[in-house]
Amino acid sequence: MNLFLTPKLEVILPKIKALVEQQIIPLERDFLHQNFSKIKPKLDTIRQLVKKEGLWNPHLSTHHGGLGLSLAEFGQISELLGHSPYGHYCFNCNAPDIGNQELLLQNASDDLKNEFLKPLLQGAIRSCFSMTEPEFAGSNPTEMATTAVKEGDFYIINGHKWFTSSADGASFAVVMANTNPDAKNKYQRASMIVVPTNNKGFELVCNIPVMGESNDDYFSHGEVRYTNCKVPLKNLIGIEGAGFSLAQQRLGPGRIHHCMRWIGICERAFDLMCQQAVTRDLGNGIKLGQKQSIQNFIAESRAEINAARFMVLHTASKIDKEGAKAARIEISTIKFFVANVLQRVLDRAIQTHGALGITDYTVLAFWYRHERAARIYDGPDEVHKSALARQILKHYGLEIKEL
């Protein structure tokens, strides 16, 4: 019994499941070995089909052309889309675009919405998010060297960023930079500013090679330099000094999106593992699934995936009812818990496939390379575990200050 299933989802989920299984997954075998620019036309054909089915931008309100779902409802859609690396792209709710869409919808001026958000919602462009710097710990967004200094009606931005995901091919970046570096409150020093990537001060240094892959424009993580990058003051998102709070606002629902996508990956890996278990012949009529070690893989994976799903949807429901601030502990808990379930399920699925599992003849090796980062980005495991432990110990009378 799905405690989070709603009448609306009973209609929508079968349609999305059919599109993913019949239109998107069959393309993977060839697509995962080609540059994104070569496969984009076929994916864009699917995008048009998604629009025709009325399923475009499923995360948005009906007022903005979406499906008007709660976070818990969209989370279940995100799980289905997570069955393929291209699922979220085909429905225009892939990271980091989805986070930038929500950020601009809630905080940007009408001018910024018309110039940048509108084409992003149409799927005509893509965007990137530029916060992490190689010289500073990425887990501490209050520490950065990038500055945005006012000169007349403009900001002059200088700084060095990396892991600006999707910078290659993006039309604009949401840049986090210090506008008030001397503010006593470290949480009020940074701001978020929209920077078009065709600005002469924007330089994509390279796509950072990850796990042996150079990465093309879709799965890329860019190293970026901002050198005397001149943008109008009107490109500020919200108010000056709100960068940290906007980042937190963006990350709360974002972690639900990520966790449910990871659960979708787990379900796909679990299905591949079970199929291998019942079809792989070890000789003398013995199937792989008859081995107790494989049965343990299957049983443990099923239990962990079910537990992870319930935890995430419970957290999403709390955010829907009380807001992200009230669910801070739950958000930290699911972030490290689900990321680790993902690693274990993928590892078991690869082990079940044997040598085949480390080839690119299945999608497993792709995910194993790309999703190891799940335990690092949006706050590493250790940070979230520490936050959870501090809150627990606080109830026992021990106050621990953040370092």
Question: Beta partners for 232?
Answer: 154
The predicted model gives 321-325 an average pLDDT of 91
Structure tokens at 99: 């986070």
Task: Give the C-alpha separation, 129 to 25, whole Å.
Answer: 28
Q: What is the DSSP letter of 113?
A: I
Which tens digits make up the pLDDT trace of 204-227?
A: 999 999 988 766 777 889 999 999
Whether omega for the bond prior to residue 96 falls within 30 degrees of 0, making it cis, is yes
Matching residue, tokens 């060297």: 145
Per the CB < 8 A criterion, the answer to whether 129 and 377 are in contact is no
Task: Give the C-alpha separation, 174 to 163, whole Å.
Answer: 13
Which tens digits make up the pLDDT trace of 116-153?
A: 999 999 999 999 999 999 999 887 888 999 999 999 99
Q: What pLDDT, on a 0 to 100 scale, did the predictor assign at position 304?
A: 98
Task: Give the C-alpha separation, 157 to 251, whole Å.
Answer: 24
Structure tokens at 242: 């709100």
Kindly tell me if the per-residue pLDDT of 278 is higher than 80: yes
Q: What pLDDT, on a 0 to 100 scale, did the predictor assign at position 1?
A: 54
Matching residue, tokens 């044997």: 354
Q: What is the pTM of this model?
A: 0.95
Q: Which residues are CB-contacts of 120 (< 8 A; sequence separation ≥ 6)? A: 97, 100, 101, 104, 126, 127
Kindly tell me if the per-residue pLDDT of 403 is higher than 70: no
Query: Domains (ranges, CATH) in the chain?
Result: 7-94 (1.10.540.10), 127-237 (2.40.110.10), 245-394 (1.20.140.10)
Task: Give the C-alpha separation, 178 to 397, whole Å.
Answer: 36
Which tens digits make up the pLDDT trace of 224-241?
A: 999 999 999 999 999 999
Structure tokens at 190: 């940074």
Q: Which residues are CB-contacts of 299 (< 8 A; sequence separation ≥ 6)? A: none
